[in-house]
Amino acid sequence: MSTGDPTDVPDGPDLLDGHDLAVELAFALELATAADAVTLPHYEHGSFHLDWKENRTEVTEADREGELAISSRVLAERPHHALYGEEHGVVGDQDSPWRWVVDPIDGTSNFVRGIPVWATLVALTHAQHGPVVGVVSAPAMGRRWWAARGLGAFVESTLRGGTPVQRPCRVSAVAALEEAQVSITFAKGWDDLGLTGELVSLQQRARRARGFGDFWQHMLVAEGAVDLAVDAVGLMPYDVAAVQVVVEEAGGTFTDRHGVRTFESDTAISSNGLLHGLIGPLGG
């Protein structure tokens, strides 16, 4: 199911601008698997050194090696595509309308503290159509989500080393905020915008409020377990491109705080679509 602009549709059952999205999705899944093979052992054995970026966010060699595992495959097998990663910026064919947008470890703060809520994010974007393929792989949680424009969204769960179980993702049908479960990520950025009070009021109106954070809150929206998720301020495209595809293909709505459908804003709100109109733009 596509929830974008009515003119923003593939030129065939699985095609967009001559690209077979099913093929690109399969490649994205391979990229996520390659990154997981690098990052998960680092996490399980604590075999990494913590550094700090200029913006005071954490980074480890697992982040850098995970992105290298992805970028080397893209450069070799998609030479006419570009890639934008959190750690190494833009590489590849910078004139291409096709760009892979990746975050090797979304949730590095969790990763370094031994909290399993972190994931590899892999998205394929198009200059005109935006994100069209998305994979969110959380190996320490035994979960992976994926979607492609017009092909639906799915989740796979592997627990206790058992056989992976796959099922489609579908957002909830909760239509009243008073009956909704919401996830809100409180952060200094909301304080700086003077909007923390609005978030507190939103949380108080909801039936239940939690703070799952990062990619996970949006994946819970896609699964129908959470009805509305408000992310932190200060996001980058690689934080949200992949999750946008999954949420939308699950039937949900994904916008910034102003209500604009985009993956290039510094804020992100996902919902089952029914609740978006009830909360309105945050801060006007």
Q: Are residues 188 and 259 in the same domain?
A: yes
Among 168, 190, 207, which residue terminates a domain? 168
CA distances from 46 to 19, 36, 204 (A): 40, 15, 39
The CA–CA distances, whole Å, from 43 to 49, 57, 164 equal 11, 18, 21
Examine residue 71 and state whether it is found in any structural domain, yes or no.
yes
DSSP structure string for 36-56: HHHHHHHHHHT---EEE-TTS
Please indicate whether residue 48 or residue 75 has the higher confidence score (pLDDT): 75
Asked which of 119, 141, 168 is the last residue of a domain, the reply is 168
Tens of pLDDT, residues 102-152: 999 999 889 988 999 999 999 999 999 999 999 999 999 999 999 999 999
Domain that holds residue 224: 177-279
217 within some domain: yes
Average pLDDT, the chain: 89
Q: Where are the alpha helices (DSSP H) in the chain?
A: 21-45, 61-77, 108-113, 188-192, 196-205, 214-223, 237-249, 276-279
The reply to whether 204 and 240 lie within a common domain is: yes
Same domain, 147 and 193: no
Write the CATH number for 258. 3.40.190.80
Asked if residue 55 is part of any domain, the answer here is yes
Q: Note whether 125 and 24 are same-domain residues.
A: yes
| Same structural domain, 58 and 112 | yes
- 273/222 same-domain check: yes
Element (H, E) at 255: strand 253-255
pTM score: 0.90
Q: What is the pLDDT of residues 133-147, one digit of tens each?
A: 999 999 999 999 999
Average the pLDDT over 67-86 and give the result.
94
Q: Mind listing the pLDDT tens digit for each residue in 183-216?
A: 999 999 999 999 999 999 999 999 999 999 899 9
The pLDDT of residue 7: 30
pLDDT score of 160: 67
Rounded CA separation 245/216 (Å): 14
Cβ atoms of residues 153 and 168 within 8 Å = yes
- Domain boundary residue, one of 111, 141, 168: 168
Residue 184, class by beta-carbon neighbours within 10 Å (0-12 exposed, 13-18 middle, 19+ buried)? buried
C-beta of residue 215 within 8 angstroms of C-beta of residue 136: yes
Query: What is the SS3 assignment for 24-36?
Result: HHHHHHHHHHHHH
- pLDDT band for 3, please (50, 70, 90 cuts): very low
